[in-house]
Copies of this chain bind each other. A is one copy, B any other.
Amino acid sequence: MKIPKKIGVLTSGGDAPGMNAAIRAVVRSCTYYNLECVGVYRGLQGLIEGDFEDLNARSVKNIINRGGTFLKSARSKDFLTFEGRKKAFNNLQNENIDALVVIGGDGTFAGASVFIKEFNFPIVGIPGTIDNDINGTDYTIGYDTALNTAVEAIDKIRDTANSHNRLFLVEVMGRDAGDIALNAGIAAGAEEILIPEQNLGRERLLESLSRSKKSGKTSSIVVVCEGDQIGKNIFGLAEYIEENLKEYEVRVTVLGHIQRGGSPSCYDRVLASRLGVGAVDALLRGETNIMIGIVHNRVTSVPFSEAIKGSNEIDEELIRVADIISI
């Protein structure tokens, strides 16, 4: 495999804070190694449409602290077709781009994997998603920031919950994985946390709220993962609780997209910088079809096929901690 001289970089799938820091690290690694670097706008779709821009060390100044991704992101239906991918490959050829760094989640890696097989084109991935649902890395870029955003928001809600002796149901992101809910719930001092990996059931929730009321709590926060079965109808859950626990006024807050934005935390910026450097290093070593991740605080790699398996084992220790400290 020949060593790349011109590397493309793109962000794909849902955006996450720290993606800009990762792009910056990829671009500056290229400068460091005297490689050319090309930014691809709007993810895999931009690859198909040839939406390219040359990037140098100065192109990425003053972006490390910015949320979102300046290369923009998009979901691409065209990339699901061979025709679309063929166009993408032709565009890369025409631009003399030798290798790609793709920053995104499992959908992005799955698409990249197909592309690599079809065109024997070197691609390395970086996990960028607030959901932390990628196998082969302890953390994904954006997850730590999303946690802090969620916790700061719930802190504000607790102010008003306390003032009015109210119960708040707060929905946080996480389609399949309860990591955000579990960690933000512990950190925000939630009385209960509903996650898809664990099926509490409405009755147990009622019992628990009832017990905590009796123990002297005058207000409560229940953090609900959007992917949780009973949480999916969070307004219905609120009604159910109000009907069955007369003493509580219940309010619902859906945190929503504020969890995707904001200036990245120190951790996410450092992680993104390390993985960006690691991705270019890997391409220079001739590696492909892998994702660069962080395991036990060391930069490492894992085949795309492993990364997209997801990681939905539940952390029993955290659940136990949540139970104990919400007593």
Residues of A within 8 A of B (CB): 11, 15, 17, 19, 24-25, 28-29, 31-32, 42, 57-58, 61-62, 64-69, 72-74, 138, 144, 147-153, 155-160, 162-165, 168, 183-184, 186-189, 215-217, 251-258, 260-263, 265-267, 269-270, 273-274, 276-277, 296-299, 317-318, 320-321, 324-327
- From residue A70, how far is it (CB to closest CB) to chain B in Å? 8
Chain B neighbourhood of A67, CB < 8 A: 156, 159-160
Determine which of B151, B164, B255, B269 lies in contact with A266 in the assembled complex, contact meaning CB atoms within 8 Å: B151
Contacts of A73 in B (CB 8 A): 163-164
Task: State the Cβ distance, A212 to closest chain B Cβ, in Å.
Answer: 10
Q: How far is the CB of A13 from chain B (nearest CB, A)?
A: 10
Q: A65 contacts which chain B residues (CB < 8 A)?
A: 151, 155, 158, 188-189
Query: In the complex, which residues of chain B have a beta carbon less than 8 angstroms from the beta carbon of A297?
Result: 138, 296
With A and B bound together, what is the CA distance between A248 and B324 in angstroms? Answer: 39
**5 tightest CB-CB pairs across the interface, nearest first?**
A156-B261, A67-B159, A159-B261, A68-B159, A15-B163
| A262 in contact with B72 (CB, 8 Å) | no
Contact A266 B165 (CB under 8 A): no
| Also in contact, A68 and B29, with CB within 8 A (given A147-B267, A184-B266) | no
With a CB–CB cut-off of 8 A, which chain B residues contact A160?
15, 67-68, 257, 260-261
CA gap between A317 and B296 in the complex, in Å: 14
Partner of A156, one of B253, B260, B269, B274: B260
Chain B hits for A266, CB < 8 A: 144, 147-148, 150-151, 183-184, 187
Nearest chain B CB to A72 CB, angstrom units:
5
Q: Which of B155, B263, B318 contacts A261 (CB 8 A)?
A: B155
Q: Could you pull out 16 A-B pairs where Cβ atoms are within 8 angstroms?
A: A64-B187, A68-B160, A72-B162, A147-B266, A148-B265, A152-B263, A156-B258, A159-B261, A160-B257, A184-B266, A251-B257, A270-B318, A270-B321, A273-B325, A274-B321, A277-B321
Closest CB of chain B to A226's CB: distance in Å? Answer: 13
> Residue of B at shortest CB range from A259?
B156
A158–B273 contact, CB under 8 A? no
**Residues in B whose Cβ lies below 8 Å from that of A162:** 62, 68, 72
Q: Inside 8 A of A168's CB, which chain B residues have their CB?
A: 257
CA A105 to CA B183, docked complex, whole Å:
25
The smallest beta-carbon distance between A117 and chain B, in angstroms, is 28
Q: Given the complex, which residues of B lie within 8 Å of A254, measured CB to CB?
A: 253-254, 256
Specify which of B58, B187, B274 is in contact with A317 (CB 8 Å cutoff): B274
State the CA gap A294–B168 with chains docked (Å).
32
13 extra interchain contacts, Cβ-Cβ under 8 A, other than A29-B324, A64-B189, A253-B256? A15-B160, A28-B325, A32-B327, A61-B217, A148-B266, A149-B156, A153-B258, A156-B261, A156-B262, A187-B266, A274-B318, A296-B296, A298-B317
- Report A195 CB to chain B, min CB distance, Å: 15
